[in-house]
Chain A
Amino acid sequence: MSNIFPKVANKVPGWIMLGISLKVLAIVAAIYYYMTPSYTRAGYQPVQPVPFDHSLHVGQVGLDCRYCHSFVDRSEHSNVPSTNTCMNCHEVIQKDSPKLAPVWESHRSGEPIEWVKIHKTPDYVYFNHSVHVNRGISCVHCHGNVDEMEVVWHDKSLSMAFCLECHRNPEQFIRPVEDVYDLKWEPTQEWLETGAAEFVHNYKVLPPESCSGCHR
């Protein structure tokens, strides 16, 4: 009786195994890379009704974040400024610029400017801005260097893993309260070694890790 299978058939199971593992590897890698918020949400940069340039207003004019987002330190919600905030300066400065036309339109009619919301937490997440900025968590941790952005984009993943990374080790991310709005602040060696841990202790920073801390 002659051999039914040629000798090369001995290798077939190996090839099949290798093929399946390569396929599984590719699928797992693709899911990890493409189906997490680091890919799906980060980088979202919508066109806004007014081409407001953060880098100009912060870098050149020197506005503090709180000039426009005036309730970030008192409210869960960090507000988008109302039209009259823009008009405090732009009633005079660059008033004929076509970029400001929607602002004037809103100023005259009283209708709001429809800004496109970029950072959206899911509706079952109760994120509170004021407790974070008042306990030494800077805007830059979640929003990136908005002070250098001409057009704002979604910089960080803002996934739950992202939140927990900091909630588990606040001393690695925390900074002195007075430097929260200085997005270019860099920690000193002393701060990293002792300051941050002291701050976490003295300010009783106890970030919740239980579900109900954020989900209600």
Chain B
Amino acid sequence: MIRTILIVYVLIIIATVSILGFRGDKTRKEPLYLFPDMDRQSKFHPQGENPFYDNKMDDRLPVINTIPRGNELELAVVFSEDYSAEDLLNVELQTGRDAAGEWATDFPIDVTRDVIEMGKVKYDIFCAVCHGLAGNGQSVVTSKGLPAANLLLQNFIDQPHGEIYNTIAYGKNLMGAYGDKLSPEERWAVVLYVRALQRANQGTMEDVPDGMKRELGI
């Protein structure tokens, strides 16, 4: 009698485990919410679905012929009477062209070591994938058949800063636009880092400080 009960007990455990499996087992079934509480509320999420619109996208594009009033979190600041979005009104910063409509030849941002470092971070994420870490147009992606420019060539050295900025923002030939991923300041930082790569590639022995020569073994 007791033996039978124990056997049934063990069998029930085995049955449960074999039906329900173990923690972390891969499943295609959507997670079960045992206590749904207010886990799923009737509100819209970033990149969520919204049946109201034709393409069912919750996120909307900016209304045509409008410009954003900045990304300040404080609404009181954005909609204050004397609000001036200096960055947005800075044509060179935004478009890479100077007042006359020519490609900008100077930087509308402060050129500092920090900015170059930031440019390097962004370059390594977004540009190095195709143009290579050194900017020479050699990368895994180019080996798979997507040609990328060798940024160290003379014609890119000769390009005005603004033209490179424009290429980053809007793309060129096969290259897609990166304006959606990089803010204007970040694009300029990348331009600056590209300049640093070009300069580094043209370096000669005279550029190496005396103190560094021994360290580098030359």
Residues of A within 8 A of B (CB): 15, 19, 22-23, 26, 30, 33-35, 37-47, 60-64, 66-67, 70, 75-77, 79-80, 82, 84-85, 87-89, 91-94, 110-112, 114, 122-124, 153-155
* Stretch of B35-43, B151-159, B191-199 at the chain-chain interface: B35-43
14 A-B pairs in the complex with CB atoms less than 8 angstroms apart: A38-B23, A39-B24, A44-B27, A44-B31, A66-B125, A67-B129, A70-B180, A76-B46, A77-B47, A85-B181, A111-B55, A122-B40, A123-B43, A154-B31
What would 9 more interface pairs be, CB under 8 Å, given A44-B27, A88-B176?
A: A26-B12, A38-B24, A43-B26, A44-B31, A60-B140, A63-B129, A64-B124, A89-B141, A123-B39
Residues of B within 8 A of A (CB): 2, 5, 9, 12-13, 16, 20, 23-34, 37-41, 43, 45-47, 49, 55-57, 124-126, 129-130, 140-141, 144-146, 174-177, 180-181
B125 A61 Cβ-Cβ under 8 A: no
Which residues of A lie under 8 Å from residue B144 when comparing CB positions? 93-94
B40 A112 Cβ-Cβ under 8 A: no
Main secondary structure on B side of the interface with A: loop
A82 to B181, CA, bound (A): 11
Which residues of A lie under 8 Å from residue B29 when comparing CB positions? 44
A40 B56 Cβ-Cβ under 8 A: no
Q: Which residue of B lies closest to A74 (CB)?
A: B183
B140 A112 Cβ-Cβ under 8 A: no
Which residues of B lie under 8 Å from residue A66 when comparing CB positions? 125
B30 A123 Cβ-Cβ under 8 A: no
Q: Which residue of B lies closest to A30 (CB)?
A: B16
A30 to B17, CA, bound (A): 9
